[in-house]
Chain A
Amino acid sequence: MEERLLKGKNAIVTGCTRGIGRSIVEIFAQNGANIWACARKKTEEFEETLQLLSDKFNIEIKPVYFDLTDKEKMKIAVRTIMSDKKDIDILVNNAGITYNALFQMSTIDKLNEVFDVNFISPFLFTQYIVKIMLRKRSGSIINIASSAAIDGNPGRSVYGASKAALLCATKSLAAELGDQGIRANVIAPGITKTEMLSSMTEEVINQTVINTDMKRSGEPIDIANAVLFLASDLSSYVTGQVIRVDGGM
């Protein structure tokens, strides 16, 4: 028998086009959730994949398109989601961008851009969605940060700091909303096989993999399965936590 840990739940996932986000959509669909799959741009391949998943698992998936940096578009997207008049049980803030540069070489423009996408946008988006979750007085928010937010790796001052900001906001959010039935947690992936890795040199990647207890990098599905735990009732007494999915570092 197939396990369906999210049967009948409705979830919003951002950054669904590829990598970890795509995997989260697949795992959520497989576990019976209806999904608003957010992405920046409409592509045929994306729409086809969503259609295949919804047919296969007998659930509903709606693509929602907006650029996280465009706050007007975000507002419209929230209205679109609200117009479906459904409860929202799960929010996964997964979309993000990476940036590698030594501290002294990091530019103010990049600093602003990375913080806008990785911190300010999920912050605002969560503000909108929490308002809807509060009506039902239940919900689970999962923010995807990074082990770089905790460890302080070379070249990661901007990216790591943006994810650390998200991490800290999540803890405050958990403390503020816990008594209203809303949980908020963070997943901190380590080195994961996505396109983001292409911003790192092979040497750095190999060194990082050697430093993991498991001596391997993670797959997007490893992260998605941990998100599934936090989204489901399996984690009903877990809030304000940061779970590293990093093979041991």
Chain B
Amino acid sequence: MLLTGKNAVITGCLKGIGRSTLETIAINGSNVWACALAPDEEFEIFCQDLANENNVWIKPVYFDLSDHEQIKTALKQIASDKQPINILVNIAGMTKDALFHMIPMDQMKLIFEVNFFAQMYITQFITKLMVRQKVGSVVNISSISALDGSYGQLSYSASKAAIIGATKTLSIELADKGVRVNALAPGVIDTDMVKAVPEDIIMKRINQISLKRLGHVDEVSKAVLFLASDLSDYISGQVIRIDGGI
């Protein structure tokens, strides 16, 4: 129970890393505003059960990251609960793979809108509250593709690299006000995104990983837990690779 009594905002909770982070954070005693794209009955039941089992509250919040009006309404809804916000985890993101010369500009803009601008908009709003409380931890999910590059993923990797720049600058601006800001760079994690990749390519990738296996979503969420908790009290402005060694 590393987060007893804390309150967290997590985006992208519907599946994959987001779902696992929601679970890990709730199990560790934190209440959660669980953000997802659109209402979903299975998700609501999941949240309710998870909340009951761990004696916390979990409030689903729905908005489309490409729609600022929706984001604004959702953020106001969160603020209207008048609870302190200790943790913000920006997970929601999207990718559309295409070779550089084939990328339509509209598509690149959409990816930046969802992966970067929406995150910044949310972070601006939430960290304003955190600064007032003089305490908070922001965890941004970037990607090793932001650091290493990734064939066919220019828009995605560039948007995730933008997150790293923002993380470091935000840390410089906010850390002395009690708000820590860090990023995780997951490697090849066993999610739906990876399941869509041909097996021979995945095998080649695994061979480059020191641990010789894919990562599990909960291995990313456990690292989120570390950065969200007081265990990382003196860590800010960092990017930690969760990649099994690449």
- Residues on A lying within 8 angstroms of B by beta carbon are 1, 3, 174-175, 177-179, 181, 183, 190, 212-215, 218-219, 222-223, 225-226, 228-229, 233-241, 243-249
Contact = CB atoms under 8 A, between A and B. Distances in A.
10 contacts: A3-B1, A175-B210, A178-B212, A178-B244, A222-B233, A229-B226, A234-B225, A235-B226, A237-B220, A240-B246
Contacts, number: 110
Contact of B210 (A178, A222, A249): A178
A239 B210 contact: yes
A179 B180 CA distance: 34
Contacts of B215: 237
Given A237-B242, A248-B171, A248-B175, A179 B234 contact: no
A245 B223 contact: no
B79 interface: no
B23 interface: no
Give the interface centre of B187, B220, B243 by most chain A CB atoms within 10 Å: B243
A236 B241 contact: no
A171 B174 CA distance: 32
A60 to B, nearest CB: 24
Given A226-B232, A236-B219, 14 more contacts: A178-B245, A212-B175, A219-B234, A223-B234, A225-B231, A225-B232, A234-B225, A237-B211, A239-B211, A243-B240, A245-B232, A246-B234, A248-B175, A249-B237
B37 interface: no
Contact of A238 (B2, B236, B241): B241
B172 interface: yes
B78 to A, nearest CB: 26
A226 B231 contact: yes
B176 A215 contact: yes
Interface of B: 1-2, 171-172, 174-176, 180, 187, 209-212, 215-216, 219-220, 222-223, 225-226, 230-238, 240-246
B115 to A, nearest CB: 22
B233 A179 contact: no
A175 B209 CA distance: 8
A243 B175 CA distance: 17
B210 A229 contact: no
Contact of A3 (B2, B212, B216): B2
Contacts of B226: 229, 234-235
B210 A174 contact: yes
A238 B210 CA distance: 10
A47 B246 CA distance: 42
Contacts of B233: 222, 225
